[in-house]
Structure 1
């Protein structure tokens, strides 16, 4: 613990330098950028929902340049096939042997643009890569580079020609982040930067340094009372009647899976480390609860009819489940 508390501020300083470099290009989007950094540290994939033109692609590309990592973007379309993602076998006429061409998923940062436009076969191919960090081509397994993070985007305003993501795949995303329009002042700066001289991004860290940070992040202390709170919070979405909220049962067809509990604790640990601490506080959990749970809830027709969102139900649950006392703090 002592060593980790010594290294956490240094890690926070390095992450600040990375964020500063990204912000030289990307204007605003502080919430989104922080969640991307949490995903990187916690080795979790992100599902990002937002209208076009909100710098989602620019953020990932800039981050890859800052970290000296590889970056690939795949535009998902209805005619995409699994081989377009993972690669395929081919016959070499000169040598008379079969070879393997690896697909664009072999990268550090993968942007899956408009993921819900691809059919189920393609989505299942991506599912193996996300979960296993490897692909299988003609019975042979190939590991993707480490670290490997997928950031998938969805467009919420156009549903024609889209395929709903399977629940099993949605559950693999650590967080679902909602990206909103910039404020007027931010948009003014965006226009100024675009019409001005392009900013050259400087690399400030390496992928090997990021791997070291990920390993250190896993040593962040989580008090058992915070894990208990997390389990109760997630459990209340499955059986709200057992937690004194019987009125919510009719709004939830299915609650969050155990992956929600794991994701929330892992993400909170990364957020604590990002903030220069070697231990998690309750506010780390509450800050990330909606991001780690909103995509894992299946709402009933009653909830949709009444205009209730997953975020609104999560707020009701959080208001009912009491927060534990802050760990690692001495009484006054």
Structure 2
């Protein structure tokens, strides 16, 4: 297949975005990302957007969203209005999924997490090694890719719930071209080869959440004209999936900057459950925005 020309985002001024989920309090790791976005937007004469990633309607709340805004205001970070909320754009994500359906690139998946876990455990007890994604999660089994129309329709009519997954192998055949992205962050830099197959057939839509992170973030970055994605190194490998979706949907390609992570005492990235690093806690203890900058190494 003829290689498609790469589309890149083009703007009069660079566009950055900070995109937290209001399912807990912001911590030092979020502060690093927000401050880097703000500083890079300021130094380049760019724009800074705030996106509230609240597709998880069960865990996100307006109270926590307001806490996010309060923390950012305290840090001295100004962002453009209006704030974009993913919960207000579910039809846009659905339209993107429908486009992929029309291209025959997604399929309904019916196995629950516990069923996949049981299958993987049984396979590995027999001495096999089940393939895992870059985050260490087992890849989803492949057999539902090839269900016949009648069997698929019957399962859709009778299953309690299902997800829509991207057929990675078929999607890569459609794209044809070798995917890559431009990286300027704290890990490898330059042109990075994308490897979406490492993630297997990723979820794009769930019964309990209208869209997935991968689909929503890709659609949102394009809809908001984001030219520079600045986020943590924990999402470095996920960029492979986003580049594949951008290419399939004909969306622009941002420049990526994956920054270092703030780690806890156990060597792991910070969690919203660790209240001692929450910005609201540090503020109550008398810390200043300048103190936070020093704590995150800016």
Q: Same fold (TM over 0.5)?
A: no
TM-score (norm 1): 0.25
Q: Which has the higher contact order (CA 8 A, sep 6+)?
A: 2
TM-score (norm 2): 0.27
